[in-house]
Amino acid sequence: KKHLTMQSAPDDEELDSLSIRLVGLDENYPVRLNWNDLGVQFSKQSIVVPGDRLTRSREFIPGHGTLRRTVEAGSGNASFAAGRRQKQNDDNAEDNDEDDEDEDEEGAWELAASVAGRQHVVNKLLCVLPGRSRYAGEIGDVVVGRVQEVASRRWRIDANARLQATLHLSGVLLPGEDLRRKSEEDERAMRAVLAEGDLVSAEVQSVQADGSLVLHTRNARYGRLGQGTLVRVPPALIKRSKTHFHSLPCGVTLVLGMNGYCWCGPTPGQSDVREPLASPADRSEVARVRACVRLLAVNHVPLYDTSVMQAYEVARESPVALLSRPDEQLRVARLVAEQLLTAEVGEAQPGGGGFGLHSGDLISGGALSAVH
């Protein structure tokens, strides 16, 4: 795994040029980044662990990954703070001296991190984004799931979330028919639409109070997925895009679900999705795209159509079986990361759109050597 460590916390005058050491998979890549040119945003406490103090200011609203705890009168530490975090909490208290002046000695409270991750602020909402967690779900997300159970007028879907998602019969577009009120006859024929074990692409319609998701497939592009293969990757690696359905030039359809489930299958029209793949060549292309998605996920490269196609072009000459070897996966992932980083650096030049690196972002070693 890759780790990011800062040699020292910079002062204001050191922000113009900061030396950052980024540790890759097998070697160290000391990189000298120009702070202003790359637009990197630094925070002294951007990476936090459970128990770390975030702020004492009452202006911030606690979000996900944070908790409110009381502070003992006359003390700068929480009553249940761990002893090994004592020194770090005292150091962080220096940044909040101005906030402490406005607080009363009795009933004072502070916001602390409840998960390990990166501190993130949106206006006055303070939250901690965990590095690895279950898919939470947002309205409008495209997800891929597997049918676990056929219940009364609904399907139970495994969407890689904390709780099973629900797909109601009223939220399904029946084959060859428009949206209409579902009858008892439609309820008896639910297994003809989706049965246990089927893969389905859907959109998140709503999020319940307990965190469970309600899905729908009222669009023709959603529905049952036929012949193909499923790849499970960390949800944080899926890049949010305008579309998550991609018809690749190699004749493979790729569905990148925001929940971390990715589906690869033949492009509709080349073969019937309810029949076996037409030829071994089609199966080989599907297996190659799946291997590309897998190797990018193993090496923590963001997943979207451009990165997958670049990995496919780099690995085109390699046998599919060779793409399962760690050394070959690292080679392909590094080349893809270099290409992606080179493109972003070009956009960051005067007139470009900005580099978009933040403290705590993970970058592969090959990409860092390209920057160096």
84 lies in some domain: no
Label residue 264 by pLDDT band (50, 70, 90).
very high
79 lies in some domain: no
96 lies in some domain: no
User: Following DSSP, what letter does each residue of 205-265 receive, concatenated?
Assistant: EEE-TTS-EEEEE-STT-EEE-S-EEEE--GGGBPP-S--EEE-TTSEEEEE-TTSEEEEE
Look at residue 64 in the predicted model and tell me its pLDDT: 85
Please enumerate in sequence order all residues whose Cβ is within 8 A of that of 189, keeping only pairs 6 or more positions apart, or say none.
none
Specify the CATH number for the domain of residue 64.
2.40.50.100
76 lies in some domain: no
**Residue-wise pLDDT tens digits, 95-153:** 454 444 444 444 588 899 998 888 888 888 998 888 777 888 899 999 999 999 999 89
- The two tokens of residue 328 are 């070959």
Please state the domain count of the chain: 3
- The yes-or-no verdict on residue 176 having pLDDT over 80 is no
350 lies in some domain: no
Give CA–CA dist 219/202, Å, rounded: 9
Label residue 34 by pLDDT band (50, 70, 90).
very low
Q: Are 47 and 84 in contact (CB under 8 A)?
A: no
Same domain, 317 and 232: yes
* Domain ranges, residue 328: 226-345
Label residue 341 by pLDDT band (50, 70, 90).
confident
**Residue-wise pLDDT tens digits, 186-244:** 888 899 999 999 999 999 999 999 889 999 998 888 999 988 899 999 998 899 999 99
Q: Which of 225, 258, 290 delimits the end of a domain?
A: 225
- Over residues 46-72, mean pLDDT: 87
- The two tokens of residue 179 are 């949206």
Q: Which candidate, 199, 208, 196, places its Cα nearest to that of 160? A: 199
Same domain, 206 and 231: no
